[in-house]
Structure 1
Amino acid sequence: MQAQEGNFVRSNEELAELLKEAESSGVCAVDTEADSLHRYKESLCLIQFAWAENSVLIDPLAVEDLTPFVRYLEQRVVWMHGADYDMTMLRREFNTLPADVFDTQIGVRLLGLRQFGLANLVSHYFGVELSKSSQKADWGKRPLSAKMIEYALNDVRYLLPMSEMIVKELHEAGRHAWFIESCEAAKAKVLERPEDRDDPWRLQGSGRLDRGGLHYLQVLWAWRDEEAKRWDRPTFMVATNKQLIEWAAVLSGGSKIDLPHHYRPDRRKRFEAMLAEAALVKKNDYPQRIRGVRRRRDKEFDDRLEDLLKRRNQVAESLGIEGSVIASRAMLEGLAGDEENALDGFMEWQKECLSIPS
């Protein structure tokens, strides 16, 4: 198979032929597409793959055994853009990651670019405007439209030539070592992240709820999850996280909520049954509130934090990069509060920029 742009690899045999052609290349680019906006359970639906001057699509819904591709990646330098999501998908699907994953987004942020989406970078480096029309497409459907195929190929088509430009600029700026360390840290973060949480119902913003509110949030979350599973749609299409937290607060206060008008009678019936069952739970069995670590906030803390922020911002301005790339406010608050392990979140290059001893 002479791999030309636009090839769609759909079988084990085609994959073997593709990898044979790409064998001599030590560097490649990868992107992934999933159906998280359209299905209850997210699935890997497409892998975009580029090497040398070629770019192809691999169909994980059709190829029965992707193990040879995974082994190929393990022995290559792999470039991605915004790699956290793609690494998460690959780890979830194959329980492994390539040894070396470099992220163009990390690179350009270290160079000081403020607009670092892929389309922004392709425009910046190549003067090409990419279409965003398929960003929310259903990648689980087959066949893919010509527009979707073009969109998908563009996600990897420019990565390798762009990576060469970015690496050259990083070396010229004396920041290539920062880039390597940052990419290694990003990969480690994905590998260390737990796949499942014991309490996924504790949504962002739930900390302000009382124990009654937490109880209702827990049962609302379970109800929503079951409804989404029945419907085979993402949970946000049943109710958003914001709605769940608002409903939990209302129910905890003893009031009733008005369900959306589009809810079918059977969904409303299951909702009412859930509430009736939730009302039988004793208050002593409600979930406990989780008390976060409270930082000692006094004048000394405020002064130290102000000094750290000022130092960070001065360094960032001199380097022409965003302050948050050097250190987030939360990281600096940990230092200001002299918290245990406060330095653990810092990379060596960040410590050097802020003159923080290791």
Structure 2
Amino acid sequence: MTIYLHEGDLPRDVFAPGPIAVDSETMGLHPHRDRLCLLQLADGNGDEHLVRFTKGQYDAPVLTAVLADPSRVKLFHYARFDLAVIKRYLGIDATPVFCTKIASKLVRTYTDRHGLKDVLRETVGVDISKAQQSSDWGAAELTDAQKEYAASDVRYLHRAHAVLAERLAREGRTEMARACFDFLPTRADLDLAGWDETDIFAHM
């Protein structure tokens, strides 16, 4: 297992075919205010690739080609936020999508704990640290702890995806999940357009 840090873009041909796990690190939780600092990706074969962005520099043709590839499913945890950030800074829809947070909410209805740490602990038996979640991702140099934290957020998503997909099928909720995943790019567009705190389906 190796963590690779790249500046500005991915090298070509670093991933095997198949789904790609993706996560983002930003300066905060508001895409228009808080810039994208890092994207981390993994193909499930043991290595993680971190792509760091200099402020204002988001021309990453290899990375965007991978993220926009319609033949690759992108695995996220809380895809709504990551899709909005990717759309805001890279200008693409990173689809098709499987969101482990939504899948968890559809099949782990016996709990209200759907954070990545809790989902991974139950589905794949690993305990990840979230100690670096609130740290300065725009710093000139990332610490080893930050790099390990970022990598761990995508390291186990393929395994979690396999467990959650099986449970969705078992409970007859695969198509419902797929409909939710397909809506996520539109949900991200609504967030970016200013409807982030509004439930457009609510009766008022």
TM-score when scaled to structure 1?
Answer: 0.50
Which amino acid is 2:100 matched to?
A: T
Ranges in structure 1 where 5+ consecutive residues have no aligned partner: 198-202, 205-327, 340-358
Structure 1 residue 97: Cα displacement: 0.8
CA distance, structure 2, for counterparts of residue 196 and residue 175 of structure 1: 30
Please point out which of 28, 49, 53 is paired with 1:56.
49
Residues 180-329 of structure 1: pairs in structure 2 closer than 5 A: 180-195=178-193
Structure 1 residue 185: Cα displacement: 1.8
Distance change >3 Å, CA 194–CA 42, structure 1 → 2: closer
Map of 1:8 onto structure 2: 5
Ranges in structure 2 where 5+ consecutive residues have no aligned partner: none
Preserved contact between residue 25 and residue 52 of structure 1 (Cα < 8 Å): no
Cα-Cα RMSD? 2.6
CA distance, structure 1, for counterparts of residue 126 and residue 95 of structure 2: 31
Matched, 1:94 2:99: no
Matched, 1:46 2:44: no
CA distance, structure 1, for counterparts of residue 40 and residue 188 of structure 2: 20
- Work out which structure has the larger RCO, using CA pairs closer than 8 Å and 6 or more positions apart in sequence: 2
Task: Determine helix, strand or coil for the equivalent of 2:98.
Answer: strand
Which string of whole-angstrom CA distances, capped at 9 and with x for unpartnered residues, describes residues 291-319 of structure 1? xxxxxxxxxxxxxxxxxxxxxxxxxxxxx
Structure 1 residue 99: Cα displacement: 2.6
Residues 98-247 of structure 1: pairs in structure 2 closer than 5 A: 98-111=94-107, 112=109, 113-195=111-193
Distance change >3 Å, CA 34–CA 194, structure 1 → 2: closer
Structure 1 residue 65: Cα displacement: 3.2
Structure 1 residue 196: Cα displacement: 5.6
Map of 2:62 onto structure 1: 68
Segment drifting more, 123-132 vs 159-168: 123-132
Task: Determine helix, strand or coil for the equivalent of 2:3.
Answer: coil
Which amino acid is 1:6 matched to?
A: I
CA distance, structure 2, for counterparts of residue 132 and residue 68 of structure 1: 29
Structure 1 residue 114: Cα displacement: 2.2
Please point out which of 2, 16, 19 is paired with 1:27.
19
Which amino acid is 1:8 matched to?
A: L
Q: Which runs of 4+ in 1 moved over 4 A?
A: none
Q: Name whichever structure is richer in helix by fraction.
A: 1
Q: Name whichever structure is richer in strand by fraction.
A: 2
Distance change >3 Å, CA 114–CA 45, structure 1 → 2: same
Preserved contact between residue 29 and residue 80 of structure 1 (Cα < 8 Å): yes
Preserved contact between residue 21 and residue 44 of structure 2 (Cα < 8 Å): no
Preserved contact between residue 38 and residue 51 of structure 2 (Cα < 8 Å): yes
Which amino acid is 2:171 matched to?
A: A
Structure 1 residue 126: Cα displacement: 2.5
Structure 1 residue 87: Cα displacement: 0.8
Preserved contact between residue 60 and residue 66 of structure 1 (Cα < 8 Å): no
Larger radius of gyration: 1
Which amino acid is 1:130 matched to?
A: I
Which string of whole-angstrom CA distances, capped at 9 and with x for unpartnered residues, describes residues 262-319 of structure 1? xxxxxxxxxxxxxxxxxxxxxxxxxxxxxxxxxxxxxxxxxxxxxxxxxxxxxxxxxx
Question: How many residue pairs get matched?
Answer: 194
